[in-house]
Amino acid sequence: MSQTPDNAVRTARTETVRAYVEQHRAAFLDELAEWLRIPSVSAQPDRAEDVRRSADWLADRLAGTGFPTVEVWETDGAPAVFAEWPSGEPDAPTVLVYGHHDVQPAAREDGWHTEPFEPTVIDGRMYARGASDDKGQVFFHTLGVRAHLAATGRTAPAVNLKLLVEGEEESGSPHFRALVEERAGRLATDIVIVSDTGMWSETTPTVCTGMRGVADCEIDLYGPDQDIHSGSFGGAVPNPATVAGRIVAALHDAEERVAIPGFYEGVTELSEAERELIAELPFDETGWLTTAKSHGTLGEAGFSTLERVWARPTAEVNGIGGGYQGPGGKTIVPASAHLKLSFRLVAGQDPAHIEKAVRAWLAGLVPAGVRYEIVFGAPTRPCLTPLDHPALKAVAGAMSLAFDGAKVRYTREGGSGPAADLQDVLGAPVLFLGISVPSDGWHAPNEKVELDLLMKGVEATAHLWGDLPAAL
Amino acid sequence: MSQTPDNAVRTARTETVRAYVEQHRAAFLDELAEWLRIPSVSAQPDRAEDVRRSADWLADRLAGTGFPTVEVWETDGAPAVFAEWPSGEPDAPTVLVYGHHDVQPAAREDGWHTEPFEPTVIDGRMYARGASDDKGQVFFHTLGVRAHLAATGRTAPAVNLKLLVEGEEESGSPHFRALVEERAGRLATDIVIVSDTGMWSETTPTVCTGMRGVADCEIDLYGPDQDIHSGSFGGAVPNPATVAGRIVAALHDAEERVAIPGFYEGVTELSEAERELIAELPFDETGWLTTAKSHGTLGEAGFSTLERVWARPTAEVNGIGGGYQGPGGKTIVPASAHLKLSFRLVAGQDPAHIEKAVRAWLAGLVPAGVRYEIVFGAPTRPCLTPLDHPALKAVAGAMSLAFDGAKVRYTREGGSGPAADLQDVLGAPVLFLGISVPSDGWHAPNEKVELDLLMKGVEATAHLWGDLPAAL
């Protein structure tokens, strides 16, 4: 099959990128290992200095990579690292890469086969806490931008490249939104690239197109002033634990749709094209159930399991409690009951509207004689990039090149993350470029990164920075 | 209004009884105070010897009263006291009186104004733990039977009188049923008189006609093998806390009737006459709500509050728990959830049938992927004596005489008690003769008994033993 000139150029560039990456692979991995030795556990107060050391180390490395501007940004918690490398081209688009330099806790005795903060390469995999989540995936951007320059002969990237690497993601990003709001001017961008996600499998280059958002609330229900005797009073006064149960039952209809009036208002429905792409994925439900440690599937009628976790909003009971929970029985009408509910949201849903809908729905469920309080946490918005968005096409193209032309699959992320704050505050679409795989063991013992896939990440970004200006 | 000769005889007897009671009142109260000084707290292991001392003291006093047979019966827990005084008449009916000699814990610092185990008489009330629940109400039988003999000129009662005074009622009577089964021959009786209940008010002589029974169960629901991420899996696997809520909601229909199929099978419905008697009671719902420490009424449609707690079966959530119950939120699908349910039962309901009905109902509510276990405790049967039962009429007549001809009201007890075991094992109807009033403070600080009412109890039993042979 003869190649078009364009393809020939692309192939040449692919080879240049790959050669550059191969040439610098060993030094790159040595440097990554150095970073991984810093136990930047944001959840552990006694590691605060390590988190700071991690930020300083990264800032130093980014400066060494060539970023003309590198700053450590203070927050009310752990510091973030910001770096900027302007293109110099007048019409160059701006890209903001998001990642994090803090890691989950880890201790050898949790079941690690190697020291979690002493990176160890075995059979093409580097084992260390943070190898995949997220230091490895942040760090491939350093070599990626150099490979991009090498392949294009440029001295500055074809895009205005910005990096924001926060230090509290594993602690729930408590100060991230405030930081983004405060620095919105510096962070202004056309698109956001999140490098903190994964692929469908080792052999399936994947582009994630969105994440669900989340809104959560706590509901406290108060009946009698204290637990009262169920013989003397039972059957004649409202029981707050019964009310809690009825609220839970009213969350869904018989088809497992969320039954809160107005809940689905504005939902961006899956297109037929997306449903087909999801249906094409080689989904193994038995394997998925094993990962879910669950023993059956149940969800909204008319949708597959993947559609349910990726593209449909949900109402979930995270916790429920009331009355006597100790051993044996106690014949009481409980004084109170408590619910923790969360709602995963998809594109088109407005957390403020959801809160209003839940409040109105709840008010109709609590009988006279029961007092209630409902408190909402700060919501995380959903984000979704349409399949035909030019930036998404560019990301898919770059991934395909890195994987030697393999067909790119499209996934979504069922969870929710701080990237949505970037979308919200900066008004830019969020795209995901990640090379982690399900076996990488995020948050678990023996976290690792596949070194060959890490190099694919380097290659993909090298291609992407070159292709984005024409795409956008 | 002229009296019939029969009434004249009765009035004479009433006066004889009252004179006898007045004559012995001071000595009787001194003896009761002596008994109340023994802190027979069955729930406190270090009081076990006091409980035994209480049994011995009572046995000694009953022998002194004239009971020819008095025995302390051992159980696997605290001892009970049995006493028997045969009538000598060939056709005399047999009566078994039930009470208990153990008491609730009490300490001065709980809010007592006097020493709980140093009986103190103030304004015609004796303050002490057990004064009303139940030593006072057991002890009036000693003077009652002597007054009966004095008024009738007999040397033995007109009924075969048996007393069974247990020592573990305040600890849930764990060995009572076994004791009754073991001693069923000795306890054989025509009727059971329970002296461990109260009256509507100080001025309203009351006869309680029944108690509700109770069946209880614990339900454990298991979903994922551990708490799982609600973002990654939520909406696609069953949530056991949601299932728990749905079970709770399915307990009742929209009219607050219990919705478990077959639950009402066999229920003895209130007669119109009983409903009228209940409606006639001067019920103050506001005051009742204050006692219930509740802020509204809610119950089965078509029934009043008193009917709901006295005469209707219920399904109550005593406890519910599942998932995360700590501060803040946690976006999980919980691994498990747990329910504690209890069902108050009324006459005509069979606990074995209820258990079967609940199990069948539950099986239809738990989705695939959730495993469940349900365990029932030992049930307590309901008991009810029809309004036209001759023994009930005799008890009402005796109460009326003690209260100078005042109209007797009929109540029921919403709670459940070990008396039902006597009904079950001995096959005898259970009647209630009690003189406690709501202000007596059972299980609370400053428990007391109204001395004048205590004497009414003495009088009522004195009349009852005389009237029962003709009634039965």
Q: Measured between alpha carbons, how far is A291 from A367 in angstroms, rounded to an integer?
A: 41
Residue A232: other Cβ atoms inside 10 A: 16
Note whether A152 contacts B: Cβ–Cβ < 8 A. Answer: no
Note whether B316 contacts A: Cβ–Cβ < 8 A. Answer: yes
Note whether A228 contacts B: Cβ–Cβ < 8 A. Answer: yes
Residue A5 has pLDDT above 70, yes or no: no
Judged by CB atoms within 8 Å, which residues 70-109 of A form the interface with B?
Answer: none
Determine the pLDDT at residue A419: 87
The residue to which tokens 């009324």 are assigned: B346
Q: What is the pLDDT of residues A67-121, one digit of tens each?
A: 999 999 999 999 999 999 999 999 999 999 999 999 999 999 999 999 999 999 9
Sign of CA dihedral B231, B233, B236, B240: negative
Residue A450 has pLDDT above 70, yes or no: yes
Give, in order, the Cα–Cα distances in Å from B414 to each of A316, B313, B388. Answer: 37, 9, 21
pLDDT in tens, chain B (472 residues): 334 446 777 788 889 999 999 999 999 999 999 999 999 999 999 999 999 999 999 999 999 999 999 999 999 999 999 999 999 999 999 999 999 999 999 999 999 999 999 999 999 999 999 999 999 999 999 999 999 999 999 999 999 999 999 999 998 899 999 999 999 999 999 999 999 999 999 999 999 999 999 999 999 999 999 999 999 999 999 999 999 999 999 999 999 999 999 999 999 999 999 999 999 999 999 999 999 999 999 999 999 999 999 999 999 999 999 999 998 888 899 999 999 999 999 999 999 999 999 999 999 999 999 999 999 998 999 999 999 999 999 999 999 999 999 999 999 999 988 888 999 999 999 999 999 998 999 988 999 999 999 999 999 999 999 999 999 8
Angle subtended at Cα B297 by Cα B292 and Cα B303, rounded to the nearest 5 degrees: 115
Query: If you measure CA to CA, which chain A residue comes closest to B256?
Result: A235
Whether residues A323 and B317 touch (CB distance < 8 A) is answered with: yes
Question: Of A416, A379, A387, A433, which Cα lies nearest the Cα of A212?
Answer: A416
Within 8 A of A216 by CB-CB distance, chain B residues are: 329, 331
Q: Measured between alpha carbons, how far is A327 from B435 in angstroms, rounded to an integer?
A: 35
Residues forming beta bridges with residue B85, ordered by sequence position: B161
Determine the pLDDT at residue B91: 95
Q: What is the pLDDT of residues B74-93, one digit of tens each?
A: 999 999 999 999 999 999 99
- Classify domain B5-210+382-471 at the CATH topology level: Aminopeptidase (3.40.630)
Note whether B297 contacts A: Cβ–Cβ < 8 A. Answer: yes
Through-space distance between the first and last CA atoms of chain B, rounded to whole angstroms: 30
Cis link prior to A6 (omega < 30° from 0)? no
Residue A188 has pLDDT above 80, yes or no: yes
What is the strand order of the sheet A120-122 is part of?
A: A120-122, A125-127, A448-450
Residues forming beta bridges with residue A428, ordered by sequence position: none
Q: What is the pLDDT of residues A361-400, one digit of tens each?
A: 999 999 999 999 999 998 999 999 999 999 999 999 999 9
CATH 3.40.1390.10 fits A5-211+382-471, yes or no: no
Rounded to an integer, the average pLDDT of A211-233 is 95
Sign of CA dihedral A179, A182, A187, A189: positive
Q: Measured between alpha carbons, how far is B294 from A228 in angstroms, rounded to an integer?
A: 9
Q: Measured between alpha carbons, how far is B357 from B134 in angstroms, rounded to an integer?
A: 37
Nearest Cβ partner of B234 from A245, A252, A344? A344
Within 8 A of B270 by CB-CB distance, chain A residues are: none
Q: Measured between alpha carbons, how far is A5 from A27 in angstroms, rounded to an integer?
A: 34
Q: What's the mean per-residue pLDDT of chain A?
A: 95
Note whether A340 contacts B: Cβ–Cβ < 8 A. Answer: yes
Task: Choose from A232, A256, A294, A341 for mutation: most chain B CBs within 10 A.
Answer: A294
Task: Choose from B104, B243, B331 for mutation: most chain A CBs within 10 A.
Answer: B331
Q: Measured between alpha carbons, how far is A141 from A164 in angstroms, rounded to an integer?
A: 12
Q: Measured between alpha carbons, how far is A340 from A321 in angstroms, rounded to an integer?
A: 9
Q: How confident is the model at residue A10 (pLDDT cuts 50, 70, 90)?
A: confident
Judged by CB atoms within 8 Å, which residues 397-436 of A form the interface with B?
Answer: 413-416
B213-267+313-376: CATH number:
3.30.70.360
Q: How confident is the model at residue A12 (pLDDT cuts 50, 70, 90)?
A: confident
The residue to which tokens 């025995």 are assigned: B71
Report the SS3 class of residue B317. Answer: strand
Nearest Cβ partner of B231 from A332, A377, A415? A415
Task: Choose from B340, B372, B375 for mutation: most chain A CBs within 10 A.
Answer: B340
Give, in order, the Cα–Cα distances in Å from B454 to each of B28, B36, B97, B144, B446. Answer: 11, 15, 16, 10, 17
Type of residue found at A355: E
Q: Measured between alpha carbons, how far is B133 from B173 in angstroms, rounded to an integer?
A: 15
Min distance A127 CA to chain B CA atoms (Å): 24
Determine the pLDDT at residue B159: 98
Q: Is the separation of the CB atoms in A351 and A368 below 8 Å?
A: no
Within 8 A of B223 by CB-CB distance, chain A residues are: 294-295
Q: What percentage of chain A has pLDDT greater than the value 70?
A: 99
Type of residue found at A209: T
Nearest Cβ partner of A320 from B245, B305, B308? B245
Q: Is the separation of the CB atoms in B234 and A309 below 8 Å?
A: yes
Phi-psi region of B133 (alpha: psi -120 to 50; beta: other; left: phi over 0): beta
Phi, psi dihedrals of residue A182, rounded to the nearest 5°: -65, -35
Q: What is the DSSP letter of B299?
A: -
Q: Measured between alpha carbons, how far is A183 from B363 in angstroms, rounded to an integer?
A: 57
Query: If you measure CA to CA, which chain B residue comes closest to A314?
Result: B235
Residue A8 has pLDDT above 80, yes or no: no
Half-sphere exposure of A286 (CA within 13 A, CB side): 0
Q: Measured between alpha carbons, how far is A453 from A248 in angstroms, rounded to an integer?
A: 44
What's the token pair of residue A462? 């090298």
Strand B94-100, strand B191-194: pairing: parallel
Determine the pLDDT at residue B1: 38
Residue B32: other Cβ atoms inside 10 A: 26
Half-sphere exposure of A158 (CA within 13 A, CB side): 20
Min distance A178 CA to chain B CA atoms (Å): 20
Rg (alpha carbons) of chain B, rounded to whole number? 25
Give the residue extent of every domain in chain B. Answer: 5-210+382-471, 213-267+313-376
Q: Do domains B5-210+382-471 and B213-267+313-376 have the same CATH topology?
A: no
